[in-house]
Structure 1
Amino acid sequence: MNVRMPFRRKIYYLHRRHKFMNRIERQISRFRGWLPRKPMRLDKETLPDLEENDCYTAPFSQQRIHHFIIHNKDTFFNNATRSRIVHHILQRVKYEEGKNKIGLNRLLTNGSYEAAFPLHEGSYRSKNSIRTHGAENHRHLLYECWASWGVWYKYQPLDLVRRYFGEKIGLYFAWLGWYTGMLFPAAFIGLFVFLYGVTTLNHCQVSKEVCQATDIIMCPICDKYCPFMRLSDSCVYAKVTHLFDNGATVFFAVFMAVWATVFLEFWKRRRAVIAYDWDLIDWEEEEEEIRPQFEAKYSKKERMNPISGKPEPYQAFADKCSRLIVSASGIFFMICVVIAAVFGIVIYRVVTVSTFAAFKWALIRNNSQVATTGTAVCINFCIIMLLNVLYEKVALLLTNLEQPRTESEWENSFTLKMFLFQFVNLNSSTFYIAFFLGRFTGHPGAYLRLINRWRLEECHPSGCLIDLCMQMGIIMVLKQTWNNFMELGYPLIQNWWTRRKLRQEHGSQRKTSFPQWEKDYNLQPMNAYGLFDEYLEMILQFGFTTIFVAAFPLAPLLALLNNIIEIRLDAYKFVTQWRRPLASRAKDIGIWYGILEGIGILSVITNAFVVAVTSDFIPRLVYAYKYGPCAGQGEAGQKCMVGYVNASLSVFLVSDFENRSEPTSNGSEFSGSPLKYCRYRDYRDPPHSPVPYGYTLQFWHVLAARLAFIIVFEHLVFCIKHLISYLIPDLPKDLRDRMRREKYLIQEMMYEAELERLQKERKERKKNGKSHHNEWP
């Protein structure tokens, strides 16, 4: 099993990174007046001395047992390692004569056993204070210094987490803590962009013109029941849009694209340090065994393994290709189901905007578009949660249909399917609002329609960005609230119900009289997919934080607040509500790193399109430099935006309305007589021009500027990302030098230890008169 155990004390020197963190802590400690006591620091006096961190380690071998530091044979292997060794044996022992009658997993599958799990090390609570009496066990210690809500502001004791739960779970919490820490600068800059919009709101010329445009009458946004409206009625929405769509938006989009690269590059360095500290640098996974399902399916077809030289089950290439084609078809079908669900939401929005416009309540009638967007987002969230349940079953079916050869192949295939399904499910409506809503509606008198019946939905007079902000904000809040409930609330309710049934069955018998195995059996088992759900939740959040962040700068702040809670929720769940999972080793976060890199690339593209297409940044810029009062002067201040609102609206002759889209109101409430003209958002010629309602020259200038911005933005950001990746090495220099030095010292020490042993044996033989003249000196 290559279990690495300590054999010689290390000589430590202080890392530069430790010096840097100490300086940070000293700076933060100056603000103790408003921060909790000992911010971020761990209480070192409550943590045990983890000896393996202070020693050189090597794979344990019975033949070289004299090389290792053994103070007590009963505690030489810790509890987690002992459980892993026992599980390793139980997986391979033959329980009955027969080719496939091997292993604990098969006995669990056929129902011979109900469950198999390592035990917790006792209760996580104690009547005595940990400061005065110390921790009763490692579980109690983890609860007090990690899972307790009172230590939310302190670092995680990762070494203790790794010692109790294993390297794989320890790496998850290390990654989650690193991601949360990296969200601090992103959340700060995002909050700064939002506050910049707040402080510049009163100086924004565009919102001023919208609020003062009482004489500009806008065309109805839906058929029949939607009335004409003054542009000034959308004053509030114009101001809210400025909070997210202002001069700092482009800077923030570039910053977040670079931030994603820096986060991934520095995580690789952090992972290397953790792998070194946890003796994972030279660790390689054992050659994986073939899955029992694969072996049973292809047991009649065998071929020689070129490495082991033993016959093993073999899957023909044609059979593998046919299964992959069926699986890909299933994936395509499920994506079509997602698109159909989005299409249903689009139809709902198109139909209900007219319904809300004819509503009796004035509050809803006057805000019909916002009511439509809000209810559509809530319905979309319910559809997302329902389809997620279906997706899990379909992904499981398709993955088993593929018949992966090993467990890692099965896990990677299942992970890719689930991520693809949930990513498309969660973001499809957001993509529609960002890039399609209001883009293909036509113009008054010639609207484009669904099934030649329903008129496509238009953007609000203040723009489409407000719809995208509502979509992201509501989905993020609801999704994170639901996930937190399912992670903690559901296990709490289940465990409470189990304890209640036990009290009824055993009467007055106290819970403390139950043995530890029965207490742990009554806890919730870890889900069948291990850490998959934990990673998936955070990866989808990372996508929300980066992909559309240009439209919602507060996304990193919401993610940060959620993750501060998430770390303690997960810790509390692992320590108190779940059975103890089997400790397992891992060198990194696996396939999730590649998915994070893919999201980082996608975020650059989507943010470029959000700034260029969804926001009004490019039209404002074109107007300032080409058509505004400062045209040709090279200026772009607020004074150069005078007249922008009027220039961005086109004129429509009311008599040109189609019969089915003609409003029931004639607009006489505005001027006392039937309205003759109304305005709409577009760059088109007036009705009495040589080409009525044709595109103006300004439209083509804006379109060219948008395309140019997308190309320049993407190339610039990708160049910066690649430059950062090149400049930041994956391995810190001091760690690389230290690894080389220690590798050399380990070889020297092993040689010296062996030589010392041989010399000692020679002396003993001489002393007993058994020395030989030809013995090796």
Structure 2
Amino acid sequence: MGFLLDWLHFCCSSRRKIYYLPRRYKFMSRIDKQISRFRGWLPRKPMRLDKETLPDLEENDCYTAPFSQQRIHHFIIHNKDTFFNNATRSRIVHHILQRIKYEEGKNKIGLNRLLTNGSYEAAFPLHEGSYRSKNSIRTHGAENHRHLLYECWASWGVWYKYQPLDLIRRYFGEKIGLYFAWLGWYTGMLFPAAFIGLFVFLYGVTTLDHCQVSKEVCQATDIIMCPVCDKYCPFMRLSDSCVYAKVTHLFDNGATVFFAVFMAVWATVFLEFWKRRRAVIAYDWDLIDWEEEEEEIRPQFEAKYSKKERMNPISGKPEPYQAFTDKCSRLVVSASGIFFMICVVIAAVFGIVIYRVVTVSTFAAFKWALIRNNSQVATTGTAVCINFCIIMLLNVLYEKVALLLTNLEQPRTESEWENSFTLKMFLFQFVNLNSSTFYIAFFLGRFTGHPGAYLRLINRWRLEECHPSGCLIDLCMQMGIIMVLKQTWNNFMELGYPLIQNWWTRRKVRQEQGTQRKTSFPQWERDYNLQPMNAYGLFDEYLEMILQFGFTTIFVAAFPLAPLLALLNNIIEIRLDAYKFVTQWRRPLASRAKDIGIWYGILEGIGILSVITNAFVIAITSDFIPRLVYAYKYGPCAGQGEAGQKCMVGYVNASLSVFLISDFENRSEPTSDGSEFSGTPLKYCRYRDYRDPPHAPVPYGYTLQFWHVLAARLAFIIVFEHLVFCIKHLISYLIPDLPKDLRDRMRREKYLIQEMMYEAELERLQKERKERKKNGKAHHNEWP
């Protein structure tokens, strides 16, 4: 331990900042109680953790400072073996092993090189013993910190309790501790969003019987709708869409606009209050004044550009550098690769579109009446499932392409490499996951033309139309199926896959030893048989949650239950990740971090995008604007300033146009003549649009109501976006990044540090003066 203290003194006294290690000053008992430490992880009942089972992780009447061997007398050291916690000790050892020279010669330095050339198979910190115990933690206490984490954090029985963040940070380090702090904060903030979303859904349920639009759809037995596909799709009564009209009302009702505004504001409040929470955690974990050390150059970069060197302006030493032209050319190639992969995504979406337009006719001619009568729903459901499979397959390809493009760019440091890889993977995954959703929300049924003049794909396939009750039901199905399937798959891969792998590894070890009984292995071998942490650290965990955040906010106006599904998933996710880190993974190397890094900027970008998309969903995808225009302009209450359900009488009839069946194209003409409805062949059918009748001066031209609806939609988008953005900026301005009590506490601590340092130095000088004076007298008495 003494060697480590001397080595740490050398590192901290040099100009290269290594780690700010939290230690206690002796004289801190004089500091008043008002600057005592936060204990944010100790919640109120009933979610509070059992206090008697947790160790006292912090001393309230102490403050911390960077460790220095010269000021070792200022630190409270009860035991040199426990002075540095386990996570800090592993960082120190790893720092030494990364820089020690194992063989004379250039580049014969560091543990990473030995791992790369196969000298070692793995290198990892050891867990602190087993996570299980035969004795109860309440009666005998925890055997080690791993056992304590399992009982109070990773066990399924404590799913409703807050996380012991200080203990997580002590065991796994600040970077992993910050991830779980952010995940817990995000999950807690989902409670109000899930409650309001559930309220919007229940409001739709309670007002369903009073909805005039769904009533008219269910009672419209005399309105015959035109076929939704060529040849095989039959004519259908509008009343056949009664169930879909009622389901649409559950998500598209009067509270939808309010919920969209609320979620846009919620995203801003979530991010602003996370900054405050992060500041409290950073203060509590001694990260406020901590700065990362000057990063070393990646070995790949050094090997590539070792022949070109220039002076580092910070260290003053020569180092390899990348020419500007070389960097630009590599970035251009990388950007071209990104563009190509986005085109692959668009091609996949195009393939799904072709599948939808082809199979809707196939399902319409199906021999089973259940599928034949619900051909559009069957088409949408199967298309979503196929799209999900394509998403999962392309994700595997995207990871390899993103890795190739990032290495092609030759980033200088590990943080630059991580940021570049993160942006590529997020962009790929986001486009891959949401491209089909964007198609359904903003393109499905928008450019189909009208009966007799349909727009066609490659002049062959007629573009798919929306259901007679609207396109929102397709968007709800898309979001619900993708969200449930993806979260289920992710949870299986996070827990099920490591469990299977570890079971198989243990089975092979027992077979190799020729025995089926449980053998006692040393701790290093038990940990070696566990699964290593992902090669990209916490990237997969953050990416999963960020994509979920996008689903929760971007199209939330079309699916108010998304926050509730996210909340239920995250309650399970926290325990899954905890169980995985404590029991199924090797212990990762502890590392420090001040925040969640580049992910915060991505969250802000998603928050801005969500405002735009929700404005377009309400204005274009839902029927909110057409209903509003009808109520105030064309309905029975026109000019009276009312918009109740009585003002919606006749809306369904006003939103449908008339088509003369004899005007059908030959390839669009249905095989049935519609005589099954009235006993005689039909002469007219209806379709969703605002167009003039066939005998008007301009047949099938747009009506005045169409232009009023279009103008109202554009006006709503502009007003909604500007209003919400103003509210977001106002909230960002009004909520300070640092809580006032924390700011005062930090200023108070700085003042007291200066005062105590002065008193300590004065005390030391007075003591040295007394010793010199005493030694001088002793020397004078000895003089003959």
TM-score normalised per structure 1: 0.94
3-state DSSP of counterpart to 2:82: coil
Tell me if structure 2 keeps the 8 A contact 1:15–1:734: no
Provide closer, same or farther for how the CA distance between residues 19 and 513 of structure 1 changes in structure 2, counting only shifts above 3 A. closer
Q: What CA deviation, in whole Å up to 9, does each residue of 1:427-482 have, x standing for no partner?
A: 00000000000000000000000000000000000000000000000000000000
Name the stretch that deviates more: 302-311 or 390-399: 302-311
Quick one: distance in 2 between partners of 1:65 and 1:775?
35
Tell me if structure 2 keeps the 8 A contact 1:46–1:134: yes
Quick one: distance in 2 between partners of 1:572 and 1:384?
27
Provide closer, same or farther for how the CA distance between residues 20 and 393 of structure 1 changes in structure 2, counting only shifts above 3 A. farther
Q: CA deviation at 1:756?
A: 2.5
Provide closer, same or farther for how the CA distance between residues 637 and 63 of structure 1 changes in structure 2, counting only shifts above 3 A. same
Matched residues, number: 770
Provide closer, same or farther for how the CA distance between residues 25 and 142 of structure 1 changes in structure 2, counting only shifts above 3 A. farther
Tell me if structure 2 keeps the 8 A contact 1:10–1:56: no
Quick one: distance in 1 between partners of 2:39 and 2:77?
43
Name the stretch that deviates more: 463-472 or 98-107: 98-107
Provide closer, same or farther for how the CA distance between residues 775 and 594 of structure 1 changes in structure 2, counting only shifts above 3 A. farther
Q: What CA deviation, in whole Å up to 9, does each residue of 1:649-673 have, x standing for no partner?
A: 0000000000001000000000101
3-state DSSP of counterpart to 1:605: helix
Q: What CA deviation, in whole Å up to 9, does each residue of 1:46-96 have, x standing for no partner?
A: 100113665211111112111110000111111111110000000011111
Tell me if structure 2 keeps the 8 A contact 1:168–1:583: yes
Q: What CA deviation, in whole Å up to 9, does each residue of 1:204-259 have, x standing for no partner?
A: 00000000000000000000000000000000000000000000000000000000
User: Tell me, which stretches of 5 or more residues in structure 2 are unaligned?
Assistant: 1-14
Provide closer, same or farther for how the CA distance between residues 509 and 770 of structure 1 changes in structure 2, counting only shifts above 3 A. farther
Q: CA deviation at 1:515?
A: 0.5
Aligned residues: CA RMSD: 5.3
Provide closer, same or farther for how the CA distance between residues 660 and 35 of structure 1 changes in structure 2, counting only shifts above 3 A. farther
Tell me if structure 2 keeps the 8 A contact 1:145–1:151: yes
Provide closer, same or farther for how the CA distance between residues 391 and 164 of structure 1 changes in structure 2, counting only shifts above 3 A. same
Identity among equivalent positions (%) equals 97
Provide closer, same or farther for how the CA distance between residues 16 and 515 of structure 1 changes in structure 2, counting only shifts above 3 A. closer
Provide closer, same or farther for how the CA distance between residues 594 and 36 of structure 1 changes in structure 2, counting only shifts above 3 A. closer
Tell me if structure 2 keeps the 8 A contact 1:649–1:681: yes
Matched, 1:9 2:19: no
Tell me if structure 1 keeps the 8 A contact 2:533–2:588: yes
Q: CA deviation at 1:43?
A: 0.8
Q: CA deviation at 1:710?
A: 0.2
3-state DSSP of counterpart to 2:571: helix
Name the stretch that deviates more: 751-760 or 339-348: 751-760
Q: What CA deviation, in whole Å up to 9, does each residue of 1:589-621 have, x standing for no partner?
A: 000000000000000000000000000000000
3-state DSSP of counterpart to 2:686: strand
Quick one: distance in 1 between partners of 2:611 and 2:28?
31
Provide closer, same or farther for how the CA distance between residues 33 and 329 of structure 1 changes in structure 2, counting only shifts above 3 A. closer
Quick one: distance in 2 between partners of 1:554 and 1:22?
52
Quick one: distance in 1 between partners of 2:593 and 2:207?
50
Provide closer, same or farther for how the CA distance between residues 420 and 677 of structure 1 changes in structure 2, counting only shifts above 3 A. same
Q: What CA deviation, in whole Å up to 9, does each residue of 1:347-403 have, x standing for no partner?
A: 000000000000011000000000000000000000000000000000000000000
Provide closer, same or farther for how the CA distance between residues 375 and 32 of structure 1 changes in structure 2, counting only shifts above 3 A. farther
User: Tell me, which stretches of 5 or more residues in structure 1 are unaligned?
Assistant: 1-7
Provide closer, same or farther for how the CA distance between residues 680 and 514 of structure 1 changes in structure 2, counting only shifts above 3 A. same
Tell me if structure 2 keeps the 8 A contact 1:9–1:56: no
Provide closer, same or farther for how the CA distance between residues 133 and 16 of structure 1 changes in structure 2, counting only shifts above 3 A. closer
3-state DSSP of counterpart to 2:680: coil
Tell me if structure 2 keeps the 8 A contact 1:176–1:567: yes
Tell me if structure 1 keeps the 8 A contact 2:305–2:322: yes
Q: CA deviation at 1:16?
A: 26
**Match runs of 1:385-534 below 5 Å:** 385-508=392-515, 511=518, 513-534=520-541
Provide closer, same or farther for how the CA distance between residues 324 and 732 of structure 1 changes in structure 2, counting only shifts above 3 A. same
Tell me if structure 1 keeps the 8 A contact 2:659–2:694: yes
Tell me if structure 1 keeps the 8 A contact 2:406–2:420: yes
Tell me if structure 2 keeps the 8 A contact 1:191–1:553: yes
Provide closer, same or farther for how the CA distance between residues 241 and 29 of structure 1 changes in structure 2, counting only shifts above 3 A. farther
Quick one: distance in 1 between partners of 2:684 and 2:222?
12
Q: CA deviation at 1:511?
A: 4.4
3-state DSSP of counterpart to 2:781: coil
Runs of 4+ in 1 over 6 A off after TM superposition: 8-37, 770-777
Matched, 1:671 2:678: yes
Tell me if structure 1 keeps the 8 A contact 2:29–2:61: no
Name the stretch that deviates more: 697-706 or 18-27: 18-27
**Match runs of 1:532-543 below 5 Å:** 532-543=539-550
Tell me if structure 1 keeps the 8 A contact 2:232–2:671: yes
Provide closer, same or farther for how the CA distance between residues 748 and 443 of structure 1 changes in structure 2, counting only shifts above 3 A. same
Select which of 314, 318, 324 maps to 1:311: 318
Name the stretch that deviates more: 71-80 or 189-198: 71-80
Q: What CA deviation, in whole Å up to 9, does each residue of 1:568-599 have, x standing for no partner?
A: 00000000000000000000000000000000
Quick one: distance in 1 between partners of 2:598 and 2:70?
37
Quick one: distance in 2 between partners of 1:24 and 1:612?
59
Tell me if structure 1 keeps the 8 A contact 2:31–2:61: no
Tell me if structure 2 keeps the 8 A contact 1:652–1:686: yes
Q: What CA deviation, in whole Å up to 9, does each residue of 1:91-134 have, x standing for no partner?
A: 01111112211111111111110000000000000000000000
Name the stretch that deviates more: 101-110 or 254-263: 101-110
Q: CA deviation at 1:305?
A: 1.0
Q: What CA deviation, in whole Å up to 9, does each residue of 1:268-315 have, x standing for no partner?
A: 000000000000000000000000000000000001111211100010
Select which of 48, 60, 67 maps to 1:53: 60
Tell me if structure 1 keeps the 8 A contact 2:364–2:372: yes
Provide closer, same or farther for how the CA distance between residues 22 and 71 of structure 1 changes in structure 2, counting only shifts above 3 A. closer
Q: CA deviation at 1:768?
A: 4.7
